[in-house]
Amino acid sequence: MSKKKEDLVILKESDTLDTRIPFLGEAKVDSPLKTIPMVTRDGRVLDKTFVEDADQVLVDDTREYLDRLKPGEEPLFFETAGPRAKIYFDPYKVHCAIATCGGLCPGTNDVIRAIVLELHHLYNVRHIYGVRYGFQGFIPKYGHDLMELKPDVVADIHTFGGTILSSSRGHQDISEIVDALDRINIRILFLIGGDGTLRAADLICQEIKKRELRISVIVIPKTIDNDIAFVSRSFGFDTAVQMATEAIRAAHTEALGAPNGVGLVKLMGRYSGFIAANACLALREVNFVLIPEADFDLEGECGLFSCLESRLRHRSHAVIVVAEGAGQKYFDAEHLPRDPSGNVKPGDIGLFLCYQIQEYFRSRDLEVTLKYIDPSYLIRSTPANYNDSIYCAFLGQNAVHAGMAGKTAMLVSRWHGHYVHIPIKVAVGKHKELELDSPLWRSVLESTGQPSLKNL
């Protein structure tokens, strides 16, 4: 599996990248998971074996990286995920909690369900709680009750979008969160969230360490934009692309339905254009794709307006897909609002383009019919498709294996086709971007036929 540009930059620039996974102590408890004998087609008997910490996956398996190693220098590895023969926690005594943070994403309920079923049926854990409304649920002043999670509670939740635990944004006091964990005797905390959750999880782990508590923190990365470093594909992304193609199909139909019809679709992607690029390739009815990684001009001979006008004069219709984080140079960042977590909200590039396109063609005395579609909330709240559901199950199961083994301060990821453990500190604060000289973007340019849209 090819690595993203930013992942490679991190490897090249960081001489202190530490991929070791912190742990709470020596794992001495026999795992309740049993070795399962399996008979092959030719009659051989194989045992379903446990994973060992020595099982590893190369962080970077490219020839360039391996050739750069000095004699005697060890390459970087990620620890392989999976069940361990010895675990740290006594399944009958351990108390676990699950919290979902940040925006909605297809598959969140699938992850919750997988964690609960794995803990209950495979590890015989009986104390599993859901923390309502994200990190707010730990803070007494909000008054959110815990939800007891049992198999019958989560049996059908994967058929619904959103999260049964609800979510919230915004900073909460880290000390109060750890106070709550200690007070209600939580020993494994599963957090489902994106970059903001990773930052909070890192601070929670630091506070836990400072207090010398034995609490494991495991993160299942959630970002519909697919922009977390060292996460090959985030859950919900496949569903998001599928739903985005429906919006593009509608925009194409609208564009064909009127003279000089323009269908404009805004998709999610604050820092990266993965959804826009993949949805474009899934349907191949898009003429212009605008993403945060590729600068573009509006005016000028090579700008979007000129190219769009040429397209309309020759074909009488056009479809434009824009990621929400594209074209932010056209907004004054100092005057943009911030979300409850303190992040600057991107300017609304979709509405901005609607107005600017209409003004441009009005000045050119060319009548256009523009239809604008923003399916963001439809995409965020839909249930996961089958591909994401399978992926979510693997992530949830491997998160449980890691937590029960006493691993902490880590997230579960898929890397080079393997499920691995990633230290939080390796991924936190880093955004994965679409590489402009990658086969993916090259294929987008070939499919759309769009030029660079930049006056040089």
Residues annotated as catalytic are 225
Q: Residue 74: CA atoms inside 13 Å, Cβ hemisphere, count?
A: 8
- Pair 303, 453: CB distance under 8 Å: yes
Q: Please state, in angstroms and rounded to a whole number, the distance separating the CA atoms of residues 324 and 336.
A: 14
Q: How far is CA 297 from CA 307, 319, 346, 359, 428, in A?
A: 11, 17, 18, 16, 32
Of 119, 124, 96, 12, whose CA–CA distance to 62 is shortest?
12
Q: In which element (H, E) is residue 413 found?
A: strand 410-415
Tokens at 93, concatenated:
């005594």
Of 278, 297, 294, 296, whose CA–CA distance to 286 is shortest?
278
- Pair 219, 424: CB distance under 8 Å: yes
Q: Please state, in angstroms and rounded to a whole number, the distance separating the CA atoms of residues 70 and 210.
A: 37
Q: Strand 261-267 vs strand 188-193: parallel, antiparallel, or unpaired?
A: unpaired
Q: In 3-state terms, what secondary structure has residue 127?
A: strand
